[in-house]
Amino acid sequence: MNTAQLAVFMAAVLFTLSSHALSPEAEEGKSFFATCDVCHNQSNNPALGPPMWGVQRRYRKNTNSPEEFLNKMVSFVKAPTLEAAIHDEALAQLGLMPPMALPDEFLRKIVTYILEEQFPPPCDHWKMAVNKAKEKGDMAHAQKDQRQLNRFCN
Ligand code: HEC
């Protein structure tokens, strides 16, 4: 094996080690995820929705099984209510999410993707949020997002 071949081989090994296999249903859901990413993309400035990284963490903490995660998220997305919302921070800043009247089968695939994906930490979003909070003089918020940056983005 020459150096170039070795490099290709190593890249393939690293890719295999780092890639994260999604179930077929999640793969399908991923192809529709743009419907949500329009607002939930962490690079949006200004933010139109909370980055999925944090949404997924909150739903994992607040549910006891993948099935409960799925049901809770699907029912929220179809008909968001203040009572059902658990993302207090996003709610306070952006208001309640508009309902997405999509067929259940379609939503379940998207949410299966959100359940399984390993989203990268939203570092661009936090950087932007720190600056915005500082501009507004909201030091508590700036410090909170700075801590997230220090913890996950170095
Ligand atoms: C028009 C913009 C927009 C679109 C499109 C959108 N969202 Fe949201 N989403 C928001 C906003 C704003 C919030 C934060 C307020 C809230 O929690 O209701 C949010 C919050 C959420 C939450 C957290 C709810 C909670 O418990 O507080 C989930 C889950 C979610 N979105 C899922 C989705 C999924 C899945 C899709 C695609 C099918 C989607 N969203 C499409 C704007 C959007």
Query: Domain locations in the chain?
Result: 24-119, 121-154
Is residue 34 in contact with ligand 1, taking CB distance under 6 Å? Answer: no
Residue-wise pLDDT tens digits, 30-40: 999 999 999 99
Task: Tell which residue, 23, 20, 21, has the closest CA to residue 108.
Answer: 23
pLDDT of residue 20: 75
**Which tens digits make up the pLDDT trace of 3-44?**
767 666 666 655 555 567 999 999 999 999 999 999 999 999
Helix (H, G, I), strand (E, B) or coil at 7: helix
DSSP 19-70: --PPPHHHHHHHHHTHHHHHHH-TT-SS-SS--HHHHHHHHHHT-SSHHHHH
CB of residue 38 inside a 6 A radius of ligand 1? yes
Q: Measure 149 CA to ligand 1 centroid, in angstroms.
A: 22
Q: What is the pTM of this model?
A: 0.89
**CA 143/CA 1 separation, integer angstroms:** 51
pLDDT tens figures, 112-131: 999 999 999 999 999 999 99
Q: What is the CATH number of domain 24-119?
A: 1.10.760
Residue with the smallest CA separation from ligand 1 atom 5 is: 36
Evaluate: CB of 97 within 6 angstroms of ligand 1. yes
Q: Answer yes or no: is the C-beta of 80 below 6 A from any ligand 1 atom.
A: yes
